[in-house]
Structure 1
Amino acid sequence: MARRPNRFTDEDFESLDGRASKTEQKKAVQRMAALGEQLAELPKKQIEALPVEERLIEALLDVQLISSFEARRRQFQRIGKLLRNEDETVILSYLTPKQGMKKTAQLQRWVDRIIAQGDPVINEFTKMHNAAERHTLRQHLLRIQRDVTKAAPPEELEASKLKLFNYVQQVALISDNSK
């Protein structure tokens, strides 16, 4: 096997910037499966009204008919994979009425504090919400800080903040459900 004549450059690593690792992808599927469990608890009419792919609606309706634990677990994994192709904001908008406006405002304050203060607030948030991962929160924060230092367009910065808010909201939904 021939040796690579040149060492890796910064450009090699910049091309990977923003890409999720395999572990992060797996954890995202687990979060989506947990959200899928909450979606499956919605009434049948609300599930049918979801603005998502037909396959996802069918999977959510099918899971209500499954009684075997292992079969339900596999079905929720499938739902998690199908949810990856959907817009998180839309999915969360159907679940946030369960949280209420007060909780949503509280989560927005968490996001603002995370952006302003960084690691101490991230540590505090992860203690309060058992489904939260420090690494993922830090990645979102670093992406926002990078957008600010590069003077990225406002739309890009808002998109990064929305991704952080969506993650925080997912974690809160999952943590509240597991208590």
Structure 2
Amino acid sequence: MSLNSPADEPKSKSQRKREMQALQNLGEKIIALPGSQRRQLPLSEDMRMAIEEADRISSHEARRRHMQYIGKLMRREDTEAIHTTFEQFEQFEQEKRQRDHALHQLEMWRDRLIDDGDAAVESVIHELPHIDRQSLRQFIRNARRERERQKPPINARKLFKLLRDTAGL
């Protein structure tokens, strides 16, 4: 009497449909990627051609059928390697979002320094104790003058660069 393991049992039709839908969704994610990231994925030539074709299809029904075809091709692809590459892309995007957030924070500090002056200087010095205080105050004064005279914001850019370099971004 041998016991069958769950892996030996055939998959239900619903399970097969869920797996196919997951592969099709992965194909849609690949299509949504920029070309530079697509080229980094470990895809077969058939899959690359199908993805390029999907970009050219505009009819809803034709696109739906083509996505099913892509799902079928995905069965032959190394989905583990594709998922690993996606995770790398997501990590890169997360780091980019964090850096963008930090740069936006620095832009707000720059604007606050120009608008509020000495009151804002103390909080920035508290956050960035290694900042060159003399340059900081000089850039703030010059940026205010530029703003009052409606000149290009050269010193505001220099102030931002000082903040960015001191913060290590």
Q: TM-score w.r.t. structure 2 length?
A: 0.47
Q: TM-score w.r.t. structure 1 length?
A: 0.44
Greater relative contact order structure (CA < 8 Å, 6+ sep): 1
Bigger radius of gyration: 2
